[in-house]
């Protein structure tokens, strides 16, 4: 009998700190890391390269099956190749996030990515970050976390991140975009954004990254940590 590797799922809305927290926890545990949002973003990028209209669901589903995504570690950073081309920077754009969110509402697209995500579950363990990791992809995960933060706080974090990169955007536009994405992710029929019944909910609005990491690590048995 094969025993499935342990999984820690970290779900939540965009900007709640999932990516940062998941990466740090995965590194400390020596576990693999799945950035499931990057898969949806990669399909979005591939679709835009192929000039596929967002209203053409069947072309988007075909594109999902055809898109090859590779995660390549580069020191501390992770590069993402889409059909062999480094698309890391394009993947992080706000426009790509919005496109990914729209594409992610198509049930067949989600179905096409299901097994690909499950394939990341390999020893010694997996930290999986997304919207439906604990509810749909790994419902039997041993450890589940749902990270939240107020929309204002998440917009502020994103605003600072972009400012540090020299990108100037309006705070109000960012807040509007974050709220629109929350609504779309939470209201879709298939795998909407919501905490699993057995997830531990952590509000990160007023706590710093290290404290959140400690709270997540405290959920794991000492043997895993
Ligand atoms: O986590 P992210 O911002 O990179 O995700 C981009 C979009 O992809 C998000 O708005 C919704 C979608 N997504 C999803 O539907 N399910 C996931 N497990 C991960 C992301």
In whole angstroms, give the CA distance from residue 128 to residue 125: 10
Q: Quote the percentage of the chain above a pLDDT of 70.
A: 97
Owning domain of residue 142? 7-217
| pLDDT score of 15 | 87
Q: What is the pLDDT of residues 118-141, one digit of tens each?
A: 999 999 999 999 999 999 999 999
Question: Collapsing DSSP states into helix, strand and coil, what is residue 30?
Answer: coil
Does the beta carbon of 44 lie inside 6 Å of ligand 1? no
> Domain for residue 70, yes or no?
yes
DSSP 136: I
pTM of the model: 0.93
Total tally of structural domains belonging to the chain = 1
Which residue's CA lies nearest to atom 4 of ligand 1?
37
| pLDDT score of 3 | 82
Q: What is the pLDDT of residues 152-177, one digit of tens each?
A: 999 999 899 889 888 888 999 999 99
> Domain for residue 2, yes or no?
no
β 143-148/126-130 pair status: unpaired
Give bridge partners of residue 129 from the DSSP assignment: 10, 35
> Domain for residue 225, yes or no?
no
In whole angstroms, give the CA distance from residue 55 to residue 29: 41
| pLDDT score of 172 | 96
Phi-psi region for residue 66, left (φ > 0), alpha (ψ -120 to 50) or beta?
Answer: alpha
Nearest in space to 28 (alpha carbons), one of 208, 222, 179, 225:
225
> Domain for residue 1, yes or no?
no
CATH of residue 177: 3.40.50.300
| pLDDT score of 161 | 85
Which residue among 41, 131, 177, 191 is best mutated to probe the pocket of ligand 1, counting the most ligand atoms within 8 A of its Cβ? Answer: 131
> Domain for residue 95, yes or no?
yes
Does the beta carbon of 146 lie inside 6 Å of ligand 1? no
> Domain for residue 132, yes or no?
yes
> Domain for residue 91, yes or no?
yes
Positive/negative CA dihedral, 147, 93, 178, 61: negative
Which residue's CA lies nearest to atom 9 of ligand 1?
101
Q: Place 2 in a pLDDT band, splitting at 50, 70 and 90.
A: low
- Give the mean pLDDT of 10-21: 93
> Domain for residue 224, yes or no?
no
Positive/negative CA dihedral, 222, 26, 182, 190: negative
């Amino acid at each position: 009998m094969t025993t499935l590797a342990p999984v820690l799922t970290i779900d939540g809305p965009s900007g709640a700190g999932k990516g940062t927290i998941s990466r740090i926890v995965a590194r400390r545990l020596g576990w693999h890391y799945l950035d499931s949002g990057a898969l949806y973003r990669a399909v979005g990028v591939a679709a835009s390269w192929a000039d596929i209209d967002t209203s053409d669901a069947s072309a988007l589903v075909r594109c999902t099956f055809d898109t090859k995504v590779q995660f390549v570690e580069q020191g501390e950073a992770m590069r993402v190749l889409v059909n062999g081309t480094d698309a890391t920077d394009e993947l992080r754009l706000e426009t790509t996030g919005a496109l990914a969110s729209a594409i992610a509402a198509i049930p067949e697209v989600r179905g096409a990515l299901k097994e690909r995500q499950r394939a990341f579950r390999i020893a010694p363990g997996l930290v999986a970050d997304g919207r439906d990791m604990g509810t749909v992809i790994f419902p039997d995960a041993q450890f589940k976390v749902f990270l939240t933060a107020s929309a204002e706080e998440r917009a502020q974090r994103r605003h600072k991140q972009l400012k540090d990169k020299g990108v100037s955007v309006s705070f109000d536009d960012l807040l509007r975009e974050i709220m629109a994405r929350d609504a779309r992710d939470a209201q879709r029929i298939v795998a909407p954004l919501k905490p699993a019944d057995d997830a531990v909910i952590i509000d990160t609005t007023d706590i710093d990254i290290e404290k959140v990491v400690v709270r997540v690590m405290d959920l794991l048995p000492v043997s895993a940590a």
